[in-house]
Amino acid sequence: MSEKKAPSSSNIPFSEQFKRYNFELKHLLVIFVILISFLLIISFIQKVSLQSLLLKTQDWYQQDYAERLANLTATSLELLLEKSAYPKAEQGNRTEDMVEAFNIILSQQVLQAHVDEVAILVTIDGEPVIIRDGRLLYEHFLGNGQIEAASDSESIETIQRYRAIEQHLRLYEEIYTIREESIFHVFVPFVPTGEFAGAVYVKNTPDFSFITREIIANYDETALIFAALILFGLMAVFYISSYSVKERDEARELFFNQRENFLTEKIEHEKEALFTRRIYHAHHKAEKVMGFIKQDLRQSANGDSEDIRQRILKYANFVSRVIYDMKWYDPPLQTIRNQIFRTNLNEVVQFMVEHIFMRTSMAGQHPDFELDLDEKIPVVPINEFVVWEILEPLIQNSIDHSQAEALKIRIHTEYQEAENQILLTIEDNGIGLSDEMLMANEDKQKLLFLEHVSSRSLERNSGYGCYLAYQISRRCGWALDAENNPNGGCKMLLRIPA
């Protein structure tokens, strides 16, 4: 039978090929939506900023425009009054001309689209009076006519504003503008003969919002064109990249599988190496204790001895604990800390010194141990052999790293009643710890108590004793720290809640 060949990609219709990349099209649509969303957000922010700038510029220009207009009106009236100081005999012939000139100046400004009112405020018998007519203005400054105070509400409001700023105008003689939303109330000091006579008032409502509307409209059109260009660009990217998407996915999948296999093998290798070193560390301790058991058994062959029997029993229990740790490195908490345990720290220290470290030698010499044990310390609810696992590597660290010809190790226990804690210190007269070892990381843990850290080569399976002591003490609720003595040597400090 002839095999049925799979159709090549060149024979598949374009519509079928297009369906294969439907997922990629969805991706591009999502990107398009995100880009458009960002574009709208940015456009909105820029539009608000631009509108704020235009409004601030418009407000400044409106106020400047209103003040210039009011100042021009005041200057025109002042010049006209100064030129009108001719003899009274000639006034009769020119009175109507002057009144008409005043009316033209007052009314010409009102003809502008943004000006609502032009008036002159003067003070008569201590009371402000508003003048809106050229004849009244002429009678006040050049004639002898009496002016009546206006009683309409708008005039009263204008007079109240003038009263509030009259002293300021009289003292500084500068333009003062009061703004109420889009309305500008401009007061210009009126000084026709060199002395303060009142103020020219102009009510102005300039409006240049059509400029803002045109700029914003053009900005919206630009944003729409830009969005359309983004859409067409994404569609072009889709059609160009659709033919290579499948090959890219296959290559990525192969790479991920290869990377996953590599990481899995690396993790397994690191776990095996870590477990091997921990087994070696536990085996080293058990091997040393088993030698003591054999020696005690040979000594007990000549006769029964209760001391030897108790010592062998403690050795055996310690070896059992070491084997338990080899089987289950992270034991349950109740096997470490429990109220049924009643451990005397002094007894543990004495036993370890006399029956562990005094039975070993370093270059044929025993370290000189000094025990300063407080008999008042209470018992602790910690498994006795867990205490061994904490103290043994700390004492051994002093022996291995001291490099002293006459090594002295001092172990001190003290019950601090005020703090309700037991302080246990192990110090030696060696070279001490380097500054690097005493540096703390971001978790406030000193480098000495980190895994894989030792002043000796890691090829000797070192770098685990202090680390294990630190981790086990934490599970016991103890605080382990290290420092250098001022006179040389290092000190290990254990703070134990009583």
Question: What does 65-127 look like in DSSP terms, one character per residue?
Answer: HHHHHHHHHHHHHHHHHHHT---HHHHHHHHHHHHHHHHHHHHHHHTSTTEEEEEEEEEETTE
What's residue 111's pLDDT? 67
Mean pLDDT value across residues 199-221: 76
Using CA atoms, how far apart are residues 343 and 384, in angstroms rounded to an integer? 6
What's residue 496's pLDDT? 93
Q: Please check whether residue 150 is in contact with residue 158, taking contact to mean a CB–CB distance below 8 angstroms.
A: no
Q: What are phi and psi of 484, to 5 degrees?
A: -100, 145
Mean pLDDT value across residues 409-419: 92
Residue 362 predicted with pLDDT over 50:
no
Which of the four pLDDT bands, split at 50, 70 and 90, describes residue 312?
confident
Lowest-confidence range among 166-170, 308-312, 327-331, 372-376? 327-331
Residue 376 predicted with pLDDT over 80:
yes
- Higher-pLDDT residue of 275 and 346 is 346
- What's the pLDDT tens digit per position in 41-63? 877 787 777 777 777 776 777 67
What's residue 248's pLDDT? 76
What's residue 458's pLDDT? 47
What's residue 3's pLDDT? 42
- Higher-pLDDT residue of 480 and 26 is 480
Residue 9 predicted with pLDDT over 50:
no
- Higher-pLDDT residue of 298 and 261 is 261
Using CA atoms, how far apart are residues 235 and 28, in angstroms rounded to an integer? 8
Q: Please check whether residue 191 is in contact with residue 169, taking contact to mean a CB–CB distance below 8 angstroms.
A: no
What's residue 371's pLDDT? 92
pTM: 0.46
List, in order, residues 6 or more apart from 311 with CB less than 8 Å away.
292, 296, 355
Which tokens in the block code for residue 173? 């003689």
Q: Please check whether residue 76 is in contact with residue 103, taking contact to mean a CB–CB distance below 8 angstroms.
A: no
Using CA atoms, how far apart are residues 356 and 291, in angstroms rounded to an integer? 10
Which tokens in the block code for residue 23? 């997922």
The one-letter amino acid code at 81 reads L
What's residue 114's pLDDT? 74
Lowest-confidence range among 95-109, 249-263, 267-281? 267-281
- What's the pLDDT tens digit per position in 272-292? 666 666 666 666 677 677 777
Q: Please check whether residue 212 is in contact with residue 55, taking contact to mean a CB–CB distance below 8 angstroms.
A: yes
Give CA 69 to chain center in angstroms.
53
What's residue 283's pLDDT? 63
Kindly report the average pLDDT of the chain as a whole number.
77
- What's the pLDDT tens digit per position in 214-248? 777 777 777 778 777 777 777 776 777 666 667 77
What's residue 208's pLDDT? 65
What's residue 274's pLDDT? 60
What's residue 304's pLDDT? 59
Which tokens in the block code for residue 335? 């096997």
Which of the four pLDDT bands, split at 50, 70 and 90, describes residue 381?
very high
Beta strand 421-428 pairing with 183-190? unpaired
Using CA atoms, how far apart are residues 30 and 22, in angstroms rounded to an integer? 13
What's residue 327's pLDDT? 64
- Higher-pLDDT residue of 95 and 346 is 346
Which of the four pLDDT bands, split at 50, 70 and 90, describes residue 478?
very high
Residue 369 predicted with pLDDT over 80:
yes
What's residue 6's pLDDT? 44
Tokens 């998407």 identify what position? Answer: 245
Which of the four pLDDT bands, split at 50, 70 and 90, describes residue 77?
confident
Which of the four pLDDT bands, split at 50, 70 and 90, describes residue 2?
very low
Q: Please check whether residue 200 is in contact with residue 132, taking contact to mean a CB–CB distance below 8 angstroms.
A: no
Lowest-confidence range among 14-18, 180-184, 252-256? 14-18
Q: Which domains does the chain have, with CATH numbers?
A: 25-210 (3.30.450), 330-497 (3.30.565.10)
- Higher-pLDDT residue of 368 and 248 is 368
Which of the four pLDDT bands, split at 50, 70 and 90, describes residue 345?
very high
Q: Which long-range contacts (CB under 8 A, 24 or more apart) does 442-448 make?
A: 445/470, 446/481, 446/482, 448/482
Torsion, Cα 98 100 101 102, to 10 degrees, reads 90
Lowest-confidence range among 192-201, 238-247, 374-383? 238-247
Using CA atoms, how far apart are residues 73 and 66, in angstroms rounded to an integer? 11
Mean pLDDT value across residues 126-154: 74
494 strand-pairing partners: 424, 480
Mean pLDDT value across residues 362-374: 76
Helix/strand/coil for 422: strand
- Please report, for residues 138, 163, 212, the alpha-carbon distance to residue 195 in angstroms, rounded to integers and kept in the order given: 17, 18, 43
Starting at the edge strand found earlier in the chain, the sheet holding 479-484 runs 368-372, 408-416, 421-428, 490-497, 479-484
176 strand-pairing partners: 187
What's residue 223's pLDDT? 76
Residue 363 predicted with pLDDT over 50:
no
